[in-house]
Amino acid sequence: MPETPTALHDAEPRATAPAAPGAHRLALARLRDFALVPGIIAIAVVGQLVNPVFLQYDNLINILQTMSEIALLVLAQTMVLVVGKMDLSLESTFGLAPGVAAWLTVGGGHSLGLLPGWAAVLVVLAVGVLVGALNAVLIVRFGLSGFVVTLGMLIVLRGLLTGISGGQTFFGLPDGMLYLGTTLWAGVPASIWICVLLFAGGIVLLGYTRFGRSLYAIGGNPDAAKAAGIRTDRVVWIVLIGASVLAALGGLLLSGRLASVASGQGNGYIFTVFAAAVIGGVSLNGGRGTLFGAFTGILLLYMIQNVLTLAGVPAQWIGALNGTIILVALVMSRITSGKRQT
């Protein structure tokens, strides 16, 4: 390439012009990941002013533990959204998976008690795999609309849980199911560890592996992803199954913490999950968003909820305030990110 040096000289004057604004934009793009951090700090300050209990260790641990189960749903949904799909049925899997495990292992009442207690955790995860695979078959193999498939699945799975439980709550869960929800590791509840580690692992997966990057490629431009040699169908399969397994695991953590599986476990969670993801900068159209952003989204929502409780807001009003907070947070993140939310 004898000509290359001259070509480089040609290029130089052009290079300087776009580089400066480019670097500026890059800094902004980085900041977008941290868009909610000022909000989180502000809420912490407000919370401390409202009630000095807020920033105490026990309260912070309490916030993290109550959000750890739903945070796994946010983690799962974020990956599904990035790859350009949606999974509404996650909230039902969240209830059904531990429900089936309890049904099969607990004796008496509505339960069958067919399996020994140690098998419960395996059943939970197996239900997750099964639901995810079923979603994937319908969405990927038969090309059905992901929104409607998982909406149908949401209703079916919820109905299954109501059916097997007779609308009652399962009690007396085997020890294996209680372990993760009740144990402390190094003085911190195991569910917080699991949540934080899974998020950390997810951030590495999405940011630093070919597989993770292929999620963004598929969500952003499926044809271009295919042209780059990515097996798009297989990736979507893996993501849908992985998401359902995460939802099942989240359900297991909650069941363990409450030592029971209510027939309505997870009911209505999906709205909070979507709100957290969108506030955290994840696009509903696929291809955009980070797990760090999604984590700050769910953290912000739960901190606000905790502040409201500490401020003595009557429980009956929490729902209305929660909805308002989600809307306000959406407007705020629209302003800070400067991008149209889609």
Kindly state the smallest distance separating residue 154's Cβ from other proteins, in Å: 28
Token duo for residue 26 = 């890059």
Rounded to whole angstroms, the Cα distance separating 274 from 284 reads 9
Q: Select the residue interacting with other proteins from 164, 230, 246, 291 (CB under 8 A).
A: 230
Among 36-44, 187-195, 202-210, 322-330, which window interacts with other proteins (CB under 8 A)?
A: 202-210
Single out the residue of 281, 284, 225, 342 nearest to residue 30, CA to CA.
281
Q: Where are the alpha helices (DSSP H) in 185-285?
A: 190-208, 210-220, 222-227, 232-258, 269-279
Q: Select the residue interacting with other proteins from 66, 221, 267, 322 (CB under 8 A).
A: 221
Pairing of strands 188-189, 184-185: antiparallel
Is 23 near other proteins (CB under 8 A)? yes
State the first-to-last Cα distance of the chain, in angstroms, to the nearest integer: 46
Is 340 near other proteins (CB under 8 A)? no
Cα 293 to the chain's mean position, in Å?
Answer: 11
* Total residues interacting with other proteins, rule: CB under 8 A: 37
Is 199 near other proteins (CB under 8 A)? no
Is 197 near other proteins (CB under 8 A)? no
Among 17-25, 52-60, 112-120, 242-250, which window interacts with other proteins (CB under 8 A)?
A: 17-25
Q: Where in 242-301 is the site for other proteins (CB under 8 A)? A: 287-288
Is 29 near other proteins (CB under 8 A)? yes
Query: Using an 8 Å Cβ cutoff, are 61 and 192 in contact?
Result: yes
Is 152 near other proteins (CB under 8 A)? no
Torsion of CA 50, 55, 61, 66, to 10 degrees: 20
Residues at the site binding other proteins, with contacts judged by CB under 8 A: 1, 3-4, 7-8, 10-12, 14-15, 18-19, 22-23, 25-26, 29, 204, 207-210, 213-214, 216-217, 220-221, 223-225, 227-230, 287-288
